[in-house]
Chains A and B, each alone.
Chain A
Amino acid sequence: MALFTKTALTSVAALTLLGGTAFAGELVINTDTSDPAPKAAFEALIAGFEAENPDVTVTWNLFDHEGYKTSIRNFLTADAPDVANWYAGNRMLPYVNAGLFEPVNDVWEENGLSESLASAEGSMTIDGKIWGVPYTYYQWGVYYRKDIFAEHGIEAPATWDDFLAAGETLKANGVTPITIGTKYLWTAGGVFDYLNLRTNGYDFHMALTKGEVAWTDDRVRATMANWQTLIDGDFFLENHAAYSWQEALAPMVQGDAAMYVMGNFSVEQFKVAGLDVDTQLGFFQFPVIDPSIPVAEEAPTDTLHIPSGAKNKEDAKKFLAYLARADVQSEVNKTLGQLPVNKNSEVADDVFLQAGAEMLSNTTGGIAQFFDRDAPAEMAKAGMEGFQEFMVKPERLDAILERLEKVRARAY
């Protein structure tokens, strides 16, 4: 998922180092945390670890975000580092299946992580084994222009009807209700996730992304019908297929659109784009569609893993244990501007993070990763492409669902 700005940071990866053999006490870490905040967070993390473990020298190879997705396949097979970052859920399945990740159940047991990281244990478990340590996640929801809502006397909607009414009021005042840029597809996946979680609930959503339910199922159609209500009502930004998610920020910053179904990383981008986030930007939970369904949320989790080819697994496990600690996660996430997974950690003093932490801690329905992390790659790509097409050509629903069903038959 291309969540962060695709900075063209050339990979700082010292390939020569990858070729060298690590001696005891040298820990090689590969990450793609090259954006400013993640980079600073990892610098501090590594410095902290080295201070506590003076006998370990950390070699840190920093990759750029996009390149990493290909590089990880090469370095895991060819010359594995001792620690590498990746994502929870189905996204790590190919590497687990290929035997490229090392199970770390012992790290979890020795440090009582099943308790402190309980919320993420499910998404880290495949075949009864735990494959890494989660260190950060962030909420999704609706980010909206507080000032525009106030100007037109709209309250942040909690129910579907209120949500639709809010949209009507906005339209009557010449404001597009929802901005979105679907050029790179995943933004449409976020909208689908929420509509499906709210229409059919977490269990159905997981069954669908795991390929256990047909795409032509009536329950999927119910989700799409709700979506069609928004499309037919002109809720979404016109020509959204021409914009990236960053480009779609512009209408909202200019006041031509009022809401954005997004992840918390967008707050930083709103700030950069010149919005006063204290007075102009607000956050509300995606509205409830069917009150009988337990509310589930979307919160993608980032993780660290030990490759099975690692040379210094002993120190790698020390590093994972260090990263799992409550105080360490507090610090890392303060710099990242995201939420710590450890339940004893402190959430940074930030309105949006506090709102997210509160929302997620009250979530009873389940926490989804994201469409392209829960569904396997092939299904994810076809699915998100179908969603984009549906948002422009809703009359093709049948053809789209049948196509997705065909992909499902093959992809699982």
Chain B
Amino acid sequence: MNARRKFDQKKIAPWLFLAPGMLMFLIYVIIPVFQSMNISLYDWDGLGEKTFIGMDNYVELFDDEAFYTSLKNNIIWLVLYMLAIPAGLFIALFLNQTVFGIRLYKSLFFFPFVISQVVVGLVFSWFYDPSFGLMNVMLNFFGIDSIAVLADERYVTYGIIAAGLWPQTAYCMILYLTGLNAVDPEQIEAGRLDNAKGWRMLWYVVLPQLKPATFIAIVVTVIGALRSFDLIAIMTAGGPWGSSRVLAFYMYEQAFSEYGFRMGYGAAIAVVLFLIMLVYIAFFLTKMYRDERG
């Protein structure tokens, strides 16, 4: 009898502990996902009656230049944002030494991640300012004409990504700094004895031990790239003429901004963004699952 009860308790306890979390996750994540999918089938301004229009929002979406601009920018963000990982790694390697005041340097390098994205956006807007911005003052000094980065459709997305890389690199750096603490000095020593130096040491001895840090760095960077919203809102508001939009910003514009309130259309964009993330999430989950099974 007694043994049987214990067995039941063991079985039930994890579910009891999980219940609050699962409930919240259900209410705030799972159900809204399906609600969004549902709303995307309607024409709705958020106030009046909803009109069921089937796939019309999606048909419109696939014939919408702004959607393709946003999609293209999202891909550029995803690719270029990855630069934060090697950049973070090299700064971490550089800072991973014991000299006087190294803690101060580390904090200074970490600083951009601590300040708000809004501040980062403002600082870079001023940096790029075509008349008094530091970047153009420097360019003019070398006899190059000013470039209005944020007013030029060719450069604007890259300009914003550069701003985003500043805090993101700091984030990756801190991940790697922590990872470097856990690198086994004996293995390094062994590598030395085998005459490994520089790149080879890094590639074959250090990096494999940093694998967990790299994995997390990729995860946060991908999420950061897909979430890119605040910088765009602050620096360009999607402009000039919508050329720096990404899907998250376009969704916000359509659903919630001053000229938006097309809830159905916004939801359709959200669903597409969700599907893109799903590819990545699926990859992430299978990898985690496999790693845990060993």
Do the two shown chains form a genuine complex with each other? Answer: yes
By a beta-carbon cutoff of 8 Å, the part of chain A in contact with chain B is: 2, 69-70, 73, 76-77, 94-95, 97-98, 100, 182-185, 238-242, 251, 372, 377-378, 380-381, 385-386, 388-389, 392, 403, 410
Main secondary structure of the interface of A (DSSP, over half): helix
The CA of A353 and the CA of B294, in the complex, are separated in Å by 78
Q: Mark B33-66, 1 if CB is under 8 A from A, else 0.
A: 0000000000001111000000000001000010
- Among residues of B, the one whose C-beta sits closest to the C-beta of A387 is B241
A388-B47 CB under 8 A given contacts A242-B130, A372-B259: no
Tell me if B151 and A241 are in contact (CB < 8 A): yes
A73-B151 CB under 8 A given contacts A241-B240, A381-B259: no
Pick the residue among A238, A386, A388 that contacts B239 (CB under 8 A).
A388
Tell me if A98 and B239 are in contact (CB < 8 A): no
The CA of A2 and the CA of B262, in the complex, are separated in Å by 20
A242-B148 CB under 8 A given contacts A183-B236, A385-B241: yes
Neighbouring A residues of B129 by C-beta, 8 Å: 242
The CA of A185 and the CA of B261, in the complex, are separated in Å by 18
Let me know if B150 is at the binding interface, CB within 8 A. Answer: yes
- Among residues of A, the one whose C-beta sits closest to the C-beta of B125 is A242
Segment 208-266 of B: residues with Cβ below 8 Å from A: 236-237, 239-242, 253, 256, 258-262
- Among residues of B, the one whose C-beta sits closest to the C-beta of A95 is B47
Tell me if B47 and A389 are in contact (CB < 8 A): no
Neighbouring B residues of A377 by C-beta, 8 Å: 258-261
Pick the residue among B60, B130, B236, B253 that contacts A410 (CB under 8 A).
B60
The CA of A69 and the CA of B260, in the complex, are separated in Å by 11
Neighbouring A residues of B48 by C-beta, 8 Å: 94, 97-98
The CA of A47 and the CA of B148, in the complex, are separated in Å by 49
Neighbouring B residues of A70 by C-beta, 8 Å: 256
A389-B258 CB under 8 A given contacts A239-B130, A241-B148: no
The CA of A76 and the CA of B46, in the complex, are separated in Å by 12
Neighbouring B residues of A242 by C-beta, 8 Å: 128-130, 148, 150-151
- Among residues of B, the one whose C-beta sits closest to the C-beta of A376 is B259
- The interface size of chain B toward A, counting residues with CB under 8 Å, comes to 27
Interchain Cβ contacts under 8 Å between A and B, 29 examples: A2-B258, A77-B47, A183-B236, A183-B239, A184-B237, A185-B239, A238-B130, A239-B130, A239-B131, A239-B151, A241-B148, A241-B151, A241-B239, A241-B241, A242-B128, A242-B129, A251-B131, A372-B259, A377-B261, A378-B262, A381-B259, A385-B239, A385-B242, A386-B241, A388-B239, A388-B240, A389-B240, A392-B240, A392-B241
The CA of A382 and the CA of B241, in the complex, are separated in Å by 9
Tell me if A403 and B258 are in contact (CB < 8 A): no
Neighbouring B residues of A251 by C-beta, 8 Å: 131
Tell me if B237 and A183 are in contact (CB < 8 A): yes
Neighbouring A residues of B260 by C-beta, 8 Å: 377, 381
Q: Which 6 A-B pairs have the closest CB atoms?
A: A381-B259, A241-B151, A242-B151, A389-B241, A239-B148, A241-B240
Neighbouring A residues of B259 by C-beta, 8 Å: 372, 377-378, 380-381
Q: Mark B129-141, 1 if CB is under 8 A from A, else 0.
A: 1110000000000
Minimum CB–CB distance from A132 to chain B (whole Å) comes to 17
Tell me if B258 and A69 are in contact (CB < 8 A): yes
Minimum CB–CB distance from A347 to chain B (whole Å) comes to 30
The CA of A377 and the CA of B46, in the complex, are separated in Å by 14
Neighbouring A residues of B150 by C-beta, 8 Å: 241-242
Tell me if A403 and B130 are in contact (CB < 8 A): no
The CA of A386 and the CA of B243, in the complex, are separated in Å by 12
The CA of A76 and the CA of B48, in the complex, are separated in Å by 12
Neighbouring B residues of A388 by C-beta, 8 Å: 239-241
- Among residues of B, the one whose C-beta sits closest to the C-beta of A250 is B131
Minimum CB–CB distance from B123 to chain A (whole Å) comes to 15
The CA of A268 and the CA of B48, in the complex, are separated in Å by 39
Minimum CB–CB distance from B169 to chain A (whole Å) comes to 25
Given contacts A183-B236, A239-B131, A389-B241, 7 further A-B contacts (CB under 8 A): A98-B45, A239-B151, A381-B253, A385-B241, A386-B241, A388-B239, A388-B241
Tell me if A94 and B47 are in contact (CB < 8 A): yes
Tell me if B239 and A100 are in contact (CB < 8 A): no
- Among residues of B, the one whose C-beta sits closest to the C-beta of A388 is B241
The CA of A238 and the CA of B146, in the complex, are separated in Å by 11
The CA of A291 and the CA of B131, in the complex, are separated in Å by 39
Minimum CB–CB distance from A264 to chain B (whole Å) comes to 22
Pick the residue among B47, B65, B242 that contacts A98 (CB under 8 A).
B47
- Among residues of B, the one whose C-beta sits closest to the C-beta of A411 is B262
Minimum CB–CB distance from A382 to chain B (whole Å) comes to 9
Most chain-B Cβ atoms within 10 A of its Cβ — which of A69, A97, A182, A385?
A: A385
Minimum CB–CB distance from A259 to chain B (whole Å) comes to 18
Most chain-B Cβ atoms within 10 A of its Cβ — which of A241, A242, A385?
A: A242
Tell me if B65 and A403 are in contact (CB < 8 A): yes
- Among residues of B, the one whose C-beta sits closest to the C-beta of A384 is B259
The CA of A242 and the CA of B235, in the complex, are separated in Å by 9
Most chain-A Cβ atoms within 10 A of its Cβ — which of B128, B253, B259?
A: B259
The CA of A242 and the CA of B130, in the complex, are separated in Å by 8
Neighbouring B residues of A77 by C-beta, 8 Å: 47
Neighbouring A residues of B242 by C-beta, 8 Å: 385
Q: Mark B262-283, 1 if CB is under 8 A from A, else 0.
A: 1000000000000000000000
Neighbouring B residues of A76 by C-beta, 8 Å: 47
Neighbouring B residues of A69 by C-beta, 8 Å: 258
Neighbouring A residues of B151 by C-beta, 8 Å: 183, 239-242, 392
Q: Mark B96-138, 1 if CB is under 8 A from A, else 0.
A: 0000000000000000000000000000000011110000000
